[in-house]
Every structure is written in C-alpha cells, then in structure tokens.
C-alpha cells in the first residue's frame, strides 16, 4: 500500500507558537504535527515527521527518503525562496511532493512570493494555516491513487 507521507519542516518551523501568531497561528510545533498526524489518519495515510534547521540535513534526508516514503509534504520555511539545493534534492527524491505554507506568502513581502521549490512540486498551498496540510495530504492521496 502506497500511503507513507514524509512531512518535512525546515528552518524556524520548530519555533511556531513563539513566532508571529498573525502569520503562523498559535499552535506549537508539536501541536501542529499532532494535527497533521490526525488529518493523515482520517485519510488513511501514514505520516512520518522530520524537522531540521540545517539545510544540509534537509537535503540529506531527501537523499534517502525514497526508502521510507511514497510522497512528500514540504514546508521548507525561508529556504523555499532561495534554496536551489533543496529544489535539486526534491527532484532527485523523485516522489510526488506538495509545498505548504501556514501563512499567505503571496500577501507578504515581495521576496516570499517566489518559490524555487514549486517547479519540483505538484502544487503549492499557502495561507490556510494547519488546514492547508489537510488539503495537501488529500492532494497527495489523490496522486498516490491515480
Ligand atoms: C512559511 C513562510 C516562509 O516565507 C517563512 O520563511 C517561514 C514559514 C509558512 O509556513 O508560512 O518560515 O513557510
């Protein structure tokens, strides 16, 4: 059964709950992961979690992720906007991926409006808070069942 989704959070996401609640809400990171896990369960998906503030570790996890997952849900934080290394590692991983952002990146600073990761993803979901993760999981489920 292809239902393993690797949820990958990047730089500074572990600090939500202490970051600006106007953009990121007031859930702690542990609470966000619990919420995502519950969404996954409802959809019959098996979510696994990874977070790092080190770009190299994020890339290295993508190098080996094909052995433990069928799809990727990625919120790479600020790396989204400039890390060609993560773009290339996502391509290398070769798994269906959805990019998610808690905040509405299109409505914030100019530099957040561009994602260098989006070309390696099926779709981008932003500005829907934790519910965006449910939408992302549903999109991955549809892709895995296609
Ligand atoms: C973010 C948006 C990014 O621009 C920002 O750097 C983050 C979080 C989001 O989830 O809204 O750290 O990815």
Task: Please give the class, per CATH, of domain 4-145.
Answer: alpha beta
Helix (H) or strand (E) holding 125: strand 123-126
Which is nearest to 65 in space by CA: 94, 37, 45? Answer: 94
Residue 111: how many CB atoms within 10 A of its CB?
10
Question: Which residue shows structure tokens 């808070």?
Answer: 129
The most distant pair of C-alpha atoms in the chain lies apart, rounded to whole Å, by 41
The string of pLDDT tens digits covering residues 21-58 is 889 989 999 999 999 999 999 999 999 999 999 999 99
In this model, does residue 68 exceed pLDDT 90?
Answer: yes
DSSP conformation letters of 58-120 = HHHHHHHGGGT-SEEEEE-GGGGGT-HHHHHHHHHH-S-EEEEESS-GGGS-GGGS--SSGGG
Question: Which residue shows structure tokens 């979690």?
Answer: 49
Q: Return the domain boundaries, the chain.
A: 4-145
1 C-alpha to ligand 1 centroid (Å): 32
In this model, does residue 93 exceed pLDDT 90?
Answer: yes
> What is the pTM (predicted TM-score) of this model?
0.97
Pick the catalytic residue: 9, 87, 101, 133? 101
At 103 the pLDDT is 97
Of all residues in the chain, the percent with pLDDT exceeding 70 is 100
Helix pair 55-64, 84-93: axis angle to 10 deg: 10
Establish whether 133 is a catalytic residue.
Answer: no
102 C-alpha to ligand 1 centroid (Å): 7
Of all residues in the chain, the percent with pLDDT exceeding 90 is 93
Q: Whose C-alpha lies nearest to ligand 1, atom 6? A: 78
Q: Whose C-alpha lies nearest to ligand 1, atom 9? A: 101
Pick the catalytic residue: 24, 61, 87, 133? 24
Starting at the earlier edge strand, list the strands of the sheet with 46-51: 46-51, 4-9, 71-75, 97-101, 123-126
């Amino acid at each position: 059964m292809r239902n393993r989704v690797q949820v990958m959070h990047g730089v500074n996401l572990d600090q939500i709950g202490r970051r600006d609640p106007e953009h990121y809400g007031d859930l702690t990171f542990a609470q966000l992961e619990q919420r995502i896990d519950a969404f996954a369960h409802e959809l019959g998906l098996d979510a696994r979690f990874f977070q790092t503030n080190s770009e190299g570790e994020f890339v290295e996890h993508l190098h080996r992720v094909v052995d433990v997952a069928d799809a990727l849900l990625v919120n790479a934080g600020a790396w989204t906007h400039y890390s060609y290394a993560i773009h290339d590692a996502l391509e290398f991983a070769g798994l269906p991926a959805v990019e998610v952002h808690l905040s509405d990146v299109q409505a914030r600073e100019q530099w957040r409006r561009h994602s260098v990761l989006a070309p390696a993803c099926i779709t981008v979901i932003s500005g829907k808070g934790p519910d965006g993760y449910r939408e992302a999981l549903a999109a991955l489920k549809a892709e895995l069942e296609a």
